[in-house]
Structure 1
Amino acid sequence: MRVLLIAGIASTPGMAFAKEVQVDVGLPKPVVVNTDQPLKLALFIEIGTNSAVQSTVTGVRNMAKKYGFEFDVFDARFDVATQVNQMQNALLNGYNAWIVVPVEGSQVCESVTKLAPEANVLVAQSTGTACGRSSKEGDELWSPGTLVYVGGNETPNAFKAVMEKAAADNPGPQKVGILTGPNLHPITVAFDKALEEVKAKYPDFKVVAVHRTDYSPPDNQIKTQTMLQANPDLSIIVGAYTNMSKGAVPALEAAGKLGTVKVYEAGGTAWSVDALKKGWIKATTGFYRQTAAETAVQAIIEARAGKPVPHVILNDGHAPIPGQKSGEVGIVTLDNVGAYEPQSP
């Protein structure tokens, strides 16, 4: 990313000079930041009742205390039309930077890559992608028009890693149940792509049930009960996030199948660490939404100061855990759980 500092010209004697920073966001015209104006940030989230999303808010709040800026949270409650409307309103209310976790990436694309930069608003994407990039990897996760993408632990390859762990741990024919989030959500799109690749690579990994959920543990408990009733010989459950496991475990316990049906998930939390130690789940993945949000804010701060910012920051901006290769998600098991510090309850 190229940054150019420009001193404004005083047209009246005694007038203070305004300092502008031109930030290259991959478009013909840069975003022009007036650094005389304090940072006023809008944080767009999917749903505020989710524990992982709350970690995103915590990350921004930490940085607001550190740097002394104002921010407001816009909760779309998993409604993309609401989120788009919130962005349109934000453009009229003086925000000069956004952090965006989209409900659905394609429908927010124009707002984050065209309308916001045209209004000289810096946009950082935190864990979620825009413009149909949910199924991409690496540098392709960044959308031109935005400052930075911070994430990488909710891509197809990240989900594929935990699915392949499940397949490797359990050789031979398996009957697998899947718990994901809502249709069209960027995480669901990435998860579905990974699932198709794993099914093609591991023919014994037979998926017998796929359930969409609202991410809440109660909904996942109900969906797991339905899976078990329809598939009494189910052997593996794979969830897109720890809340899927939080619902699956009590359903399995009630059915007398806790430990018999192996549970794998993405998005390790404090609950996941305890569940690994108790044997309720077999593996999870590193997930750092608080760090991702903090890293996104730091990128905005540095861009406003005229410093270069990479377009893509992987592993949610977090240091790797033991055994994790660069550019890949960290798999957390009983063997290395002691080195994993979760950021969500």
Structure 2
Amino acid sequence: MRTPKSRAMLAAGSTAVLLALAGCAGNSSGDPGNQGPAGTVAIDVGNDTKVNLKTGQGLKVAVFIPGVANEFGLEQERAAKETANELGMDMTLFDAGYDPNKQLNQMQTAMTSGNFDAAVVMALDGVMSCKLLTEDFAKANILTSISGSPLCDDGTDQSGKSVDEVWVPGTLNFVGSNTTRDYVDGWLAAAAKANPGKQKVVAVLGPAVNTQTRVTEAAMAKLAQDNTDYSIDTIYTDWTTTDAYNKTQTYLQGHPDTTLILSASAPDLTQGVIQAAKDAGLSEKIHVADVGFGKFQIEQLEAGNVQLSTMLFPYNQMKANLSSIAAAQRGDAGPRFVDDSVIGTAKNPFVVTKETISELPAELR
């Protein structure tokens, strides 16, 4: 049974997916007139490679996510189950437990099994899984839609000139927003504008090998160049509240002069960050700027525990991944980049403050 939260996120997702998948002809990754063998449609994934995707109901789809030990992962899981059911897909969810090696093994096993027609992947290590997802999956006739975390070395090479930079040939598309360089630059610029002058900053991120972390670190280098009074450190976590709390607590014991914490994911990391600051007796002097979603995020903004946020859209992201595969079955492969934003865009993220909460769509409040 859907919860009120999942129904609300589904409503938000439906609108954004329709807009995102409309695409423009010049950015299309498929040819509606290009038929494969009987009962399939040939989808161009770049590099002169086509995947013959089965049409009709019962498409077997593997969904690989980092884990379900945090709210983001649970929202991905809900979206995958609900959307697959609506689209008539036979979906299998793979939980990697935040272990990149385990996820790689899961993907290799799924590929060699011959049991899957398509895949949605949020890679824990986009470099380690690069060849598998951009070459081997396509050769195995598996159409792959990438969710949120860029592959190969695109995390650090992004210049911010085009959102298409996050798409890698060999895959159908890239769905997301918050891992594009423009988005991260927008978040950090908003934090810098709200916190001018000399600042002792610590960024609480995911695993060091995670491509989202690499994108954020590249953007933080620019933040430091643009704000010479900033002193910036980094904490790596496994995306869980407990790890964020423990490591932030230890950091603050050695750096009580901290004035700004950048949390890469709310509610999970931000919960740990806020509690660590409270336990250190530093809540009144530390500002928190995060990226997140859900009731917790709004409550913390209203309470003044978080200064500003930009949004994550885990439900809509997964819905867009699966919906783009369904569209490809109909011969409409759509754009290479699908923006999952419900408000704002990947190139211009909406900044949420206590004063702008009222501007959010009702389903996000």
TM-score (norm 2): 0.85
Contact kept? 1:288, 1:342, Cα under 8 Å: no
Q: Which residue of 1 aligns with 2:91?
A: 71
Contact kept? 1:32, 1:120, Cα under 8 Å: yes
Deviation at 1:163, TM superposition (A): 2.1
Is 1:128 equivalent to 2:152 in the alignment? Answer: no
2:355 counterpart letter in structure 1: D
Higher helix share: 2
2:125 counterpart letter in structure 1: E
Larger displacement relative to structure 2 (110-119 or 97-106): 110-119
Superimposed CA distance per residue, residues 298-345 of structure 1 (whole angstroms, 9 cap, x where no aligned partner)? 11001111124111112x2x332xxx4672222111122233369999
Is 1:171 equivalent to 2:196 in the alignment? Answer: yes
Contact kept? 2:180, 2:346, Cα under 8 Å: no
Q: Which residue of 1 aligns with 2:70?
A: 50
Task: Pick the aligned partner of 2:327 from 289, 296, 302.
Answer: 302
Superimposed CA distance per residue, residues 49-68 of structure 1 (whole angstroms, 9 cap, x where no aligned partner)? 12112212222112112122
Contact kept? 1:290, 1:343, Cα under 8 Å: no
Is 1:217 equivalent to 2:241 in the alignment? Answer: yes
Deviation at 1:37, TM superposition (A): 7.2
**What is the aligned-residue identity percentage?**
27
Task: Pick the aligned partner of 1:107 from 128, 137, 147.
Answer: 128
Contact kept? 1:149, 1:312, Cα under 8 Å: yes
Contact kept? 2:134, 2:168, Cα under 8 Å: yes
SS state of the match for residue 329, structure 1? coil
Contact kept? 2:191, 2:289, Cα under 8 Å: yes
Q: Which residue of 2 aligns with 1:19?
A: 39
Distance 1:6 1:232, change over 3 A: closer
Deviation at 1:255, TM superposition (A): 2.5
Superimposed CA distance per residue, residues 10-45 of structure 1 (whole angstroms, 9 cap, x where no aligned partner)? xxxxxxxx3321111113231112326730110011
Number of aligned residue pairs: 330
SS state of the match for residue 154, structure 2? coil
Larger displacement relative to structure 2 (143-152 or 50-59): 50-59
Task: Pick the aligned partner of 2:347 from 303, 327, 339.
Answer: 327
Alpha-carbon distance in structure 2 between the residues aligned to 1:213 and 1:37? 40
Superimposed CA distance per residue, residues 83-134 of structure 1 (whole angstroms, 9 cap, x where no aligned partner)? 1211111111410000000011011111211111112111001111111222
Distance 1:329 1:280, change over 3 A: same
Contact kept? 2:57, 2:89, Cα under 8 Å: no
TM-score (norm 1): 0.89
What are structure 2's unaligned runs of at least 5 residues? 1-28
Task: Pick the aligned partner of 2:264 from 236, 240, 250.
Answer: 240
2:281 counterpart letter in structure 1: G
SS state of the match for residue 24, structure 1? strand
Superimposed CA distance per residue, residues 244-302 of structure 1 (whole angstroms, 9 cap, x where no aligned partner)? 22111112222322232111111233211100000001011111011011111111001
The structure that has the greater radius of gyration is: 1
